[in-house]
Amino acid sequence: MNSKKKNNFFPHVLYLLIDVLAFNVAVFISYIIPFYVNKGRFLEEKDMAAYEDMTTFLVLIPMLMFVVSGIHKITWFRTTVEDFHQIFRSLFFADVFLCFAIYKLRYVKAGGFNTTMDDWPASTFLIILPLSCILLCAWRFVFRFCVEKEWFSPSKTHRLILVGLNAISDEVIQKIAMNKNPQYNIVATFDEIGQRLSGVSGYNGLHHFEKTLQNEEVDEILLASAGIQKDDLFYVVQYCESHGVDYHILPSYIDLLASKSRVDLINFVPMISYAKSKIIGWNLLFKTLLDLVISVVVLIVLSPIWLLICLLIIVDSKGSPIFTQNRVGRGGCTFKIYKFRTMVKEAEKMGALTENEDKRITRVGHFLRRWSLDEVPQFLNVLLGQMSIIGPRAVVPFVAENFDDWEKISLNVLPGITGLAQVYGRNKLSFYEKSFLSVYYIRNYSLFLDFKIVFRTVGTIFTGVGSGGTIEANRITVDLIDETEQQLFSE
């Protein structure tokens, strides 16, 4: 698996360098134009001082934006419209950050920076965005044209594994073998009835699946879900997502995990492609920034209340005001979760589960739980990078150890202080139902969904809807689970 990443490293770096070069050409042209228009002359040596002072930023800023957005990873299945959208968005932020850097340096009077930034034309930033868009789209258009004309091949042949071979027709296999961009080499097959392809290693069942992926340097997996059992399907998907392996599913069967998907054509064979977690790239960047900003604000603003709550807990019952417990986070790693203690000291020795009328809950604990104030210390976990404000529930190790393969998908992202399970049904949900909502959140993630959960969290705190499994909360939960189950298990 490591060799695959090494093989892909060079072309990605090359595409990134071309993008950065095209951006810098656009910036340089945009820098020249105002001098010619306003002063009627081209650049003189003194005019270049402001430009030269920004050389480092002109490389680092676009490189950072392009890497975060992933536009340097050219995907042949991605349409031209999708390409333009990603390019425009990354260039917009590169332009904004460059503008901020330049005008910030104008006010720096020490530290080795000079004041030549005053000579940087403001109108440059109006030209950079459209011009850089044209240049980045233009070289991609030429590149795609050359590849389509077969003047050269942009990448090595993709090594492909077929899972569920007995459910894949000979016509589909033939068209895959004849595909040109990318070309595919079928290196192994798996099914349940021992079917084989001539000259290709074939396996009955998935006993050698992981070993084959490691030995064969596999790039992609084609999964025919009708050819394997549902448990095996979940196992393959979980393995691919946790190890960063691209996979495709034939769309005539199960639309796995209610995911929003993309239909690709491999030599006119329609296939549903599932990328890795949607909480990546720009989504991950914005989510992380919001987590950090909000957690810092909450911890600072609520610090007086922290002290008051700690004093009340100490006065009300013996023991530390902060309760810690092992939870399982991203990648299956354990961490200490922080909460305000709401039960008597060593309450865990008196029983495992908390009941609605649990006598172990203190007087202050009832109040903290009613208003969800016991969760506030978890913002420390967010600040430490162990949790997110919104995400799947953070489970204890015992629960994670008994997860089915499909439930392990919730361990691919950071757990959250709040989430779908916390606002839709809460304590009235079974572990199975909570896991469904966690996976549903990951596979259908969007910033809009996060904002929706935030508003519902506030509503849950002030109205109590969802905290005890009210009719409304149960109805919403049932609707979500029914919707997910239909897409999960419908033939």
> Using CA atoms, how far apart are residues 415 and 392, in angstroms rounded to an integer?
5
Residues ≥6 apart with Cβ < 8 Å to 76: 181, 182
What's the average model confidence in pLDDT over 425-445?
75
Residues ≥6 apart with Cβ < 8 Å to 13: none
Annotated domain spans of the chain: 2-148, 158-274, 281-489
Q: Check whether 394 has a pLDDT greater than 50.
A: yes
Q: Which has the closest alpha carbon to 196: 165, 170, 232? A: 165
Higher pLDDT, 28 or 277: 28
Task: Judge whether 433 and 425 are in contact, CB under 8 Å.
Answer: yes
Task: Judge whether 447 and 389 are in contact, CB under 8 Å.
Answer: no
> Using CA atoms, how far apart are residues 390 and 451, in angstroms rounded to an integer?
9
Of the pLDDT bands very low, low, confident and very high (cuts 50, 70, 90), residue 378 is: very high
**Which pTM value belongs to this model?**
0.50
Other C-beta atoms closer than 10 Å to the C-beta of 345 total 14
In 250-321, where do the E strands start and end? 262-266, 269-274
Quick one: pLDDT at residue 466? 45
Most confident of the following: 4-18, 90-104, 269-283, 286-300: 286-300
Q: Domain 158-274: which CATH class?
A: alpha beta
Of the pLDDT bands very low, low, confident and very high (cuts 50, 70, 90), residue 484 is: very low
What is the percent of the chain where pLDDT is above 70?
74
Quick one: pLDDT at residue 296? 92
Higher pLDDT, 165 or 335: 335
Q: Check whether 80 has a pLDDT greater than 60.
A: no
List the strands of the sheet with 262-266, edge to edge: 201-204, 184-191, 158-163, 220-223, 246-249, 269-274, 262-266
Phi-psi map region of 393: left, alpha, beta (phi>0 left; psi -120 to 50 alpha): beta
Residues ≥6 apart with Cβ < 8 Å to 238: 405, 406, 408, 409
Residues ≥6 apart with Cβ < 8 Å to 137: 83, 84, 87
> Using CA atoms, how far apart are residues 190 and 202, in angstroms rounded to an integer?
6
- Residue 337's DSSP bridge partners are 325
What Cα–Cα distance (Å) separates residue 457 from each residue in 286, 434, 450, 480? 20, 16, 10, 17
Q: pLDDT per residue over 270-294, tens digit each? A: 666 665 566 777 788 889 999 999 9
CB-neighbour burial class of residue 192 (10 A; exposed 0-12, middle 13-18, buried 19+): middle
Quick one: pLDDT at residue 327? 95
Q: pLDDT per residue over 134-190, tens digit each? A: 999 888 888 877 776 666 666 667 888 899 888 887 777 887 877 766 778 888 888
Task: Judge whether 341 and 323 are in contact, CB under 8 Å.
Answer: yes
What's the average model confidence in pLDDT over 396-419?
88
Most confident of the following: 142-146, 207-211, 256-260: 207-211
Of the pLDDT bands very low, low, confident and very high (cuts 50, 70, 90), residue 379 is: very high
Amino acid at 369: R
DSSP per residue, 46-76: GGGHHHHHTHHHHHHHHHHHHHHHTTTS--T
> Using CA atoms, how far apart are residues 152 and 50, in angstroms rounded to an integer?
41
Q: Which has the closest alpha carbon to 59: 12, 30, 24? A: 24
Quick one: pLDDT at residue 445? 83
3 state DSSP class of 388: strand
Of the pLDDT bands very low, low, confident and very high (cuts 50, 70, 90), residue 103 is: confident
Q: Check whether 110 has a pLDDT greater than 90.
A: no
> Using CA atoms, how far apart are residues 269 and 287, in angstroms rounded to an integer?
36
Quick one: pLDDT at residue 337? 95
What's the average model confidence in pLDDT over 203-214?
85
Higher pLDDT, 328 or 193: 328
Q: At what angle do helices 80-105 and 124-148 cross, to 10 degrees?
A: 150
Q: pLDDT per residue over 354-372, tens digit each? A: 555 677 889 999 899 888 8
- Residue 388's DSSP bridge partners are 416
Long-range own/partner contacts, residues 27-33 (CB < 8 A, 24 or more apart):
27/58, 27/98, 27/124, 27/128, 27/132, 29/127, 29/131, 30/124, 30/125, 30/127, 30/128, 30/131, 31/120, 31/121, 31/124, 33/123, 33/124, 33/127
Task: Judge whether 175 and 267 are in contact, CB under 8 Å.
Answer: yes
Whole-number average pLDDT of the chain:
77
> Using CA atoms, how far apart are residues 336 and 396, in angstroms rounded to an integer?
10
Task: Judge whether 234 and 210 are in contact, CB under 8 Å.
Answer: no
Lowest mean pLDDT among 3-17, 58-72, 447-461: 3-17
Q: Which has the closest alpha carbon to 442: 286, 275, 290? A: 275
**459 CA to centre of own chain:** 27
Label residues 129-146 b or e (16+ Cβ within 10 Å = b).
bebbbebbbeebeeebee
- Residue 269's DSSP bridge partners are 266
In 352-426, where do the E strands start and end? 388-390, 416-418
